[in-house]
Amino acid sequence: MDRPPAGAEGPALRMYRVMAMIRAFEERVGELAKEIPGAVHLYIGQEAVAAGVCSVLRDGDHLASTHRGHGHAIAAGCEVEAMAAELYGRSDGVCNGKGGSMHIADLGHGMLGANGLAGGGVPLACGAALTARQRGTDDVAVAFTGDGGANQGAVLESLVLARMLDLPVVFVVENNGYAQATSAARHFSGTDMSARAAGFGIPGAVVDGADALAVRDAASEAVDRARSGRGPTLVECRAQRFHGHMEGWDNQAYRPAGEAERLRAEADPLALLRRRLTGAGQPADAGAELDRVEKESAARVQAAFDRAAQPAEPLLTALTTDVYAAH
């Protein structure tokens, strides 16, 4: 993952830094959605999942993301400057401007890529886990998918493969309540997605996806299990997205009236972690420190997008690079 040294900060504050950066980045993306090429899917409301899971990964580990992948990329250590440039199709983007929002990848940080196919990244994580096994390392792979992607055949096949080979992989299902515009209650049989893991002989757990510390604890246990050679785990993180499936067309008419507003008031992952960090027994200046974190994140993101929005015509010679065959 190649993250900066932790220093004297505890894991909770480090996760808050990551979550604040994700929130600032996604809010800016939401404001610019009409001028950014292609579709964008915001991660606001789910920041604690990416921050909590990635907080227990280390250099050499890999993760495979989803179409809603900006948060995963930031938590993995990808630079917001390169990500902003990528969203605008610039040649200095993290993928040279050829991936866009739904295909951000950065192998230097273990990020195997966001994926426009629901569940499409899960087999890739299994491949990374198999590579670690073949090389004799104790590296771990994490496969993110949503409640909708969890129903894909490729995901179920990956569960079979991971169990039969006892691969060092952690399956993280981000159950945000809706597969595009279809409630999980209408597309998923049962109540706990984690219970499905039992049918494959894989341990499963359910965690509050708005609680970064709870996610970290569950992810730590699953990653330790994988790293020690005891095989895969499925962790279901229940966290609601506050925005629609995709910016620009989704008016969220399928949600009960006032649901998004209620979630923002009651289940904002940043607000929940802030209360932990400023509660009884915490330093008196904790709130001011978190304010500084948010301000610094917003300023860095603003500068990144200001630069990314500047015209930068791609070189014609780049047309046939990064492809399997030149024509």
Supply the pLDDT for residue 2: 40
How many Cα atoms within 13 Å fall on the side-chain side of residue 95?
22
pLDDT exceeding 70 applies to what percent of the chain?
95
Confidence of residue 5 (pLDDT cuts 50, 70, 90): very low
Please tell me what DSSP assigns to residue 152. Answer: S
pLDDT in tens, 244-268: 788 877 888 888 888 888 888 898 9
What is the overall mean pLDDT for the chain?
90
- Is the pLDDT at 4 greater than 50? The verdict is no
pLDDT digits (tens, 9 = 90+) for 140-198: 999 999 988 888 899 999 999 999 999 999 999 999 887 777 777 777 776 678 888 99
pLDDT of residue 326: 56
Q: Which residues of 151-161 are buried (b: 16+ CB within 10 A; e: fewer)?
A: bbebbbebbeb
Angle, CA 193 vertex, CA 178 and CA 15 arms, to 5°: 75
Please check the confidence at residue 28 and state whether its pLDDT lies above 90: yes
Q: Are 72 and 114 in contact (CB under 8 A)?
A: yes
- The letter for the amino acid at 221 is E
| Average of per-residue pLDDT across 55-84 | 96
Distance CA(103)–CA(126), nearest Å, equals 18
Indicate if the pLDDT at residue 8 is higher than 70.
no
pTM for this entry: 0.92
Give me the domains of the chain, ranges plus CATH numbers: 11-312 (3.40.50.970)
Q: How far is CA 209 from CA 106, 221, 263, in A?
A: 25, 16, 12
